[in-house]
């Protein structure tokens, strides 16, 4: 049996832990630039504020209702998320952290009274962290997600396996409530008279595969209590790392665009290093706003990095060059970003210098970078393979190692671009 634990109104609940005066009030947490509502308390939902509502469009009258709008504080939410997950982990041998506020738990164990066990888990999380959660229980992940929705109106815990009228339960669930059915598929399904989870469960396999893809067929099977989506206790390695931002105002010159992309690249490169990853490919994009007037423009360009790297200076100068290629004067830009893909572990890293190799300060910088890589790799020596190394480098090179190597993971290449 699988449990899905989900934090209620997570960001708002975290804010309430640190400021209890917010309890009982309508509260929303806003996205970057205080753009739109990304988390709402029950009281805010009752005022009719939809998910994603733009803050500037909220009627003034809501202030009179006591609405509190907070800027988001993601490091705080990430920290609280860890605390909640650590608590949940005490109750299960297999915990899959699915998102910042959700986790699947394997409930097969000595306890078979799932409902009271889930209530115990729920109460412990509330006592230890202050965060209210709901738990849905079912034989498959997809059904556990549905059960979790039902838990909201059932005292925080809902066990699908103990439901006597399962058809009735599934018939009461609209098809877009099913995990994996988004707006586009829901509209398609409704056109084909499939408007509830029950009707989707009864769909023809071949038809479902043709129109909903293999993932949709899995969803159908999961509704039939056939597990198709396994629990994954260890997170698979990341396939991309990104930093993208909306500006909050129009940007109409290249200078600001390159400044923005430089910042985003350094943020994303820091993430790479934190995860001990190196990127093999970088993609830079820039867009105009789809909400504002003016001609629309959206462009992206990708660049293969040759030897993977997470070294900020090299990535920044490359990203600036890419931005210069896609930027077009005359457009009002509202968004830009960088996405790193083709990730590998950072044993294979390219460093780069953009000043003269004879510059002693730059030399020290590079040696520091190599030292820090060696420390992270738990290695005494990192091998240096490069062309274009000036006289000043010969000695350092020998100091590093003379051992020949042919394996990529032993190689750090150093580009020395003279000004």
Partner DNA sequence: TCTGGGGTCCTAGGACCC
Annotated catalytic sites, by residue? 102
Which residue, among 321, 351, 322, has the nearest Cα to 415 in the 3D structure? Answer: 351
Q: Does 68 participate in binding DNA (rule CB under 7 A)?
A: no
Q: Which of 127, 291, 329, 387 binds DNA (CB under 7 A)?
A: 291
Give the range of 95-103, 133-141, 311-319, 357-365 binding DNA by CB under 7 A: 95-103
Q: Does 206 participate in binding DNA (rule CB under 7 A)?
A: no
| Nearest approach, Cβ of residue 180 and DNA (Å) | 5
Question: CA 273, CA 347: separation in Å to the nearest integer?
Answer: 11
Q: Which of 90, 116, 204, 240 binds DNA (CB under 7 A)?
A: 240
Of 153 and 183, the one with the shorter C-beta distance to DNA is 183
Q: Which of residues 1-20 bind DNA (CB under 7 A)?
A: none
Tokens of 129: 């962290």
Q: Does 171 participate in binding DNA (rule CB under 7 A)?
A: no
Question: CA 133, CA 126: separation in Å to the nearest integer?
Answer: 7
Q: What is the 3-state secondary structure (H, E, C) of 189-210?
A: HHHCCCCEHHHHHCCCHHHHHH
Place of tokens 């920290």: 79
Give the range of 60-68, 177-185, 374-382, 391-399 binding DNA by CB under 7 A: 177-185
The count of residues interacting with DNA (CB under 7 A) is 51
Q: Which of 180, 284, 288, 311 binds DNA (CB under 7 A)?
A: 180
Q: Which strand (E) or helix (H) includes residue 406? A: none
| Nearest approach, Cβ of residue 414 and DNA (Å) | 26
Q: Which of 20, 21, 50, 57 binds DNA (CB under 7 A)?
A: 57
Of 102 and 159, the one with the shorter C-beta distance to DNA is 102
Question: CA 104, CA 144: separation in Å to the nearest integer?
Answer: 9
Q: Does 73 participate in binding DNA (rule CB under 7 A)?
A: no
Q: Which of 18, 33, 226, 324 binds DNA (CB under 7 A)?
A: 33
Q: Count Cα atoms within 13 angstroms, Cβ side, for 260.
A: 28
Of 121 and 243, the one with the shorter C-beta distance to DNA is 243
Q: Which residues are CB-contacts of 291 (< 8 A; sequence separation ≥ 6)?
A: none
Q: What angle do CA 264, 276, 342 make, to 5 degrees?
A: 70
SS3 98: strand
Q: Which of 19, 23, 42, 52 binds DNA (CB under 7 A)?
A: 52
Give the range of 30-38, 80-88, 105-113, 308-316 binding DNA by CB under 7 A: 30-38
Q: Does 38 participate in binding DNA (rule CB under 7 A)?
A: yes
Evaluate whether 282 touches 350 at the Cβ level (below 8 Å). no
Residue 225: how many CB atoms within 10 A of its CB? Answer: 15
Q: Does 335 participate in binding DNA (rule CB under 7 A)?
A: yes
| Nearest approach, Cβ of residue 150 and DNA (Å) | 14
Which residue, among 243, 230, 232, has the nearest Cα to 274 in the 3D structure? Answer: 243
Evaluate whether 203 touches 220 at the Cβ level (below 8 Å). yes
Q: Which of 242, 254, 307, 326 binds DNA (CB under 7 A)?
A: 242
**CA separation, residue 118 to residues 70, 96, 140, 151, 186 (Å):** 32, 16, 16, 11, 31
Give the range of 61-69, 153-161, 182-190, 395-403 binding DNA by CB under 7 A: 182-190
| Nearest approach, Cβ of residue 367 and DNA (Å) | 30
């Amino acid at each position: 049996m699988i449990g899905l634990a989900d934090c209620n109104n997570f960001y708002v609940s975290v804010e309430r832990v640190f400021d209890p005066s917010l309890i009982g009030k309508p509260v929303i947490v806003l996205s970057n630039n205080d753009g739109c509502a990304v988390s709402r308390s029950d009281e805010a939902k009752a005022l009719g504020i939809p998910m994603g509502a733009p803050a500037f469009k909220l009627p003034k009258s809501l202030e009179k209702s006591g609405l509190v709008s907070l800027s988001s504080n993601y490091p705080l939410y990430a920290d609280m998320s860890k605390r909640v997950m650590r608590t949940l982990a005490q109750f299960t041998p297999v915990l899959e952290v699915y998102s910042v506020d959700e986790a699947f738990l394997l409930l097969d164990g000595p306890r078979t009274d799932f409902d009271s066990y889930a209530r115990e888990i729920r109460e412990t999380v509330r006592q230890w962290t202050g965060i209210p959660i709901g738990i849905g229980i079912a034989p498959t992940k997809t059904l556990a997600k549905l059960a979790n929705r039902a838990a909201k109106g059932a005292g925080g815990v809902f066990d699908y396996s103990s439901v006597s009228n399962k058809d009735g339960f599934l018939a009461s669930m609209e098809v877009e409530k099913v995990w994996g059915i988004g707006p586009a598929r829901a509209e398609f399904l409704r056109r084909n008279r499939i408007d509830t989870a029950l009707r989707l469960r009864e769909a023809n396999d071949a038809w479902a595969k043709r129109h909903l893809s293999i993932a949709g067929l899995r969803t159908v099977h999961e509704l039939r209590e056939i597990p198709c989506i396994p629990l994954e206790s260890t997170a698979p390695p990341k396939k991309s790392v990104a930093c993208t931002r909306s500006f909050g105002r129009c940007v109409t010159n290249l200078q600001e665009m390159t400044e923005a992309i430089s910042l985003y690249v350094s943020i994303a490169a820091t993430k790479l290093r934190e995860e001990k990853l190196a990127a093999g490919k970088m993609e830079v994009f820039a867009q105009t706003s789809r909400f504002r007037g003016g001609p629309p423009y959206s462009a992206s360009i990708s660049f293969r990095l040759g030897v993977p790297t997470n070294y900020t200076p090299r990535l920044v100068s490359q990203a600036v060059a890419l931005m210069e290629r896609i930027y077009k004067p005359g457009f009002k830009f509202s968004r830009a970003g960088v996405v790193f893909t083709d990730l590998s572990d950072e044993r294979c890293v390219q460093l780069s210098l953009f000043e003269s190799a004879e510059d002693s300060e730059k030399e020290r910088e590079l040696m520091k970078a190599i030292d820090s890589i060696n420390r992270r790799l738990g290695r005494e020596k990192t091998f240096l393979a490069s062309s274009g190394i000036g006289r000043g480098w010969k000695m350092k090179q020998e100091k590093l190692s003379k051992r020949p190597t042919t394996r990529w993971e032993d190689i750090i290449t150093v580009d020395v671009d003279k000004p």
